[in-house]
Amino acid sequence: MSSYPHPIIAREGWPFIASTLAVALIAQVLGGFAWAAFPWLVLLFMLQFFRDPPRAIPADPAAVLSPADGRIVSVEKARDPYLDREALKISVFMNVFNAHSNRIPVDGTVIKTEYFSGSFLNAELAKASLENERAVTCLRTAAGHEVTCVQVAGLIARRILCYAKTGDRFARGDRYGFIRFGSRVDVYLPLQAVPRASVGDKVHATESVLAELV
């Protein structure tokens, strides 16, 4: 991209980083480095967790891009309960060391959004897709393909942020949400989509191709 409209450190992390920095500085002044070492380490963790680096967008317009950094934990035929259809489901698991900014995988218009409260099971488990807290964003491309993105809270994740609203138009790679502290994103695609990622693959939001729409 020629420009990047978001800060390199995600705005969702600013309150956490500011408060941790304040604690570290106070501990440093009052007790020296021995007291401040742990807060400084926490600050370093916060900075790496809330990083939001710019990403290059692949040229292929048929490519479905990864909405998140992480590891592929599922590539399978499954029921898309949000659009009531059979679909190709690809799931990306994010651990606490991945960047957690979520990006739109296809050019399209938001046709539906939903939020579900739920449990906080380990996001690597298959049942987390339907039992955990989650936010759903359904998109329709100009060619009529429908793509569902589901942000799923994890074991220690306690806040899903989704900024998409029905009627919004997005381009591939646009930032649309954030999940704090470990989670997964499920992508439901038309059955005829051709998967380009396999279980175990490490992927990066926007830059990695999950599948191709045909």
Q: Which residues are catalytic?
A: 183
**Which residues does residue 109 pair with via DSSP β-bridges, in sequence order?**
140, 169
Question: What DSSP state is assigned to residue 11?
Answer: G
For 144, residues 6+ apart whose C-beta sits below 8 A from its C-beta are none
